[in-house]
Amino acid sequence: MRVGPETKFAFRQTWPVLIGYGFLGMAFGLLLQHAGYHAGWAFLVSAVVYAGSMQFVLVGILSSGLGLPAAALMTLTINSRHFFYGLPFLKTFRAMGRRFLYMVFSLTDETYALFCQVQVPSELDRHKVMFRIALFNQIYWVGGSTLGATFGELARFNLKGIDFTMTALFTVILVEQWLSAALSARLSVLLGLACGVASLLVFGPDRFVLPALLLAVGLLVLLRPLLARMRRGGTTS
C-alpha cells in the first residue's frame, strides 16, 4: 500500500512524541492495571478520554470512588487550558469539514506544540498533515497505555514515583522552550509562572489552574503591545 507524502511528513514530525507518549502511556497503563483495571480498560480510556495528565488523575478518582460532580469539576479545572489552546486553531479546524470534531477532541499539549511550530511544505495539504499528526499522536498514546497495562498483567513492577512522569515531561518541554526562546517569550513564561504561584497561594492546589490561566491571559492581552515591540527589537520604555 502506497503511503502518501502527507502521512510520511506527519510521521517525521511526530516521532519524538512517539517516544514520549510510548513511555508515558505505559506508565498510565501500569498505574491503571495496578488499580485493578485490565488492558481493555486502558485501551478504552485512552481512546475515549485521551487527556494525558487527567488520565493519571483518573486512576486516583477510580480508586477513591470520588463522586461524579466532583470528578467532573476536577476534569474541567485540569483540562481548562485546552479552551485557550483551541482558540487559535478554531477557524482552521472548521475548514477541515468532517474532521472538525476529532481535531477539537485530539488537541493535546504536544499536538498543539507541533501545530504551532510545524512548517508544512507548499506542495502538501496542510489540513491532511494536521489531521495525521493528531491521529498519530493518539495512536501512540493508546498503544503505550494498552502495552503498559498488558505488561502489568504479566509482571509485577515497583510503581513508586511513576505518576511523576507527566510532570517530568512538562518540565523538560519548559526547559527546552526556555533555552530557545526570545526575551519576550521568556517574559511571558515568567508572567505565567507568577500567575500560577499567586493562584496556588490564593486558591490552593486543587483549584488554581483555571484562575491562573484566566489571569495570565488577561495580563498577556494587556501587555501585548509591549511584548510585540520587544519581539521587533524596539525599546520597552
Give me the residue spans of the domains in the chain: 5-163, 181-237
Q: What is the DSSP string of 60-123?
A: HHHHHT--HHHHHHHHHHHTTHHHHHHGGGHHHHHTTGGGHHHHHHT--HHHHHHHHH----TT
Residues shown for the chain? 237
pLDDT in tens, 31-85: 888 888 889 999 999 999 888 778 887 887 777 776 777 677 767 767 777 777 7
Low-confidence ranges of the chain (pLDDT < 50): 234-237
What is the pTM assigned to this prediction?
Answer: 0.70
Residues 190-211 as b/e (b if ≥16 CB within 10 A, e otherwise) read ebbeebbeebeeeeeeeebbbb
Determine the number of helices (DSSP H) and then strands (DSSP E) in the chain. 13, 0
